């Protein structure tokens, strides 16, 4: 499995994570969703509406609906989501797995501890599977 993520969008995600620290940030990835390879064409920032934004992320239902409508109107698919772990690794936490709700979508996680890095994981309904991030 591969997530095709252009360098400029990768830079936007990293910038969002740095701007939002020490709280987690969140956004939606839009483009062409595929079973083996998904291609990100746009990133949509969202506000973190979680009651504890330093350790969780959540998109408010009204904002999520608005973003999904914007993605649909642009003729794109929801490829997945991104969020940051300001103090943790670029891999899903137990909380991330409990709250994942979009099967076969990518969950990009930005770690800001040490050198900033991105990891991507596909939610398979019961578990995450790591996927490669590749610049087109």
How many Å apart are CA 130 and CA 30, to the nearest integer? 19
- Backbone phi and psi for residue 46, each to the nearest 5 degrees, phi listed first: -130, 160
8 Å CB contact between 49 and 27: no
Catalytic residue among 12, 19, 23, 24: 24
Tell me if residue 8 is catalytic. Answer: no
Tell me which H or E stretch contains 63: helix 61-73
**Which are the catalytic amino acids?**
24
């Amino acid at each position: 499995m591969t997530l095709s993520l252009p360098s400029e969008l990768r830079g936007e995600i990293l910038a969002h994570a740095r701007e939002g620290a020490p709280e987690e940030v969140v956004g939606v990835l839009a483009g062409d969703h595929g079973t083996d390879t998904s291609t990100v064409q746009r990133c949509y920032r969202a506000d973190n509406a979680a009651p504890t934004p330093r350790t969780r992320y959540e998109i408010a239902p009204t904002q999520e609906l608005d973003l999904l409508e914007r993605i649909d109107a642009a003729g794109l698919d929801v490829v997945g989501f991104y969020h940051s772990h300001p103090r943790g690794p670029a891999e899903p936490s137990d909380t991330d797995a409990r709250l994942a709700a979009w099967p076969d979508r990518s969950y990009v996680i930005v770690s800001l501890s040490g050198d900033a890095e991105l990891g991507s994981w596909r939610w398979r309904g019961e578990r995450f599977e790591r996927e490669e991030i590749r610049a087109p």
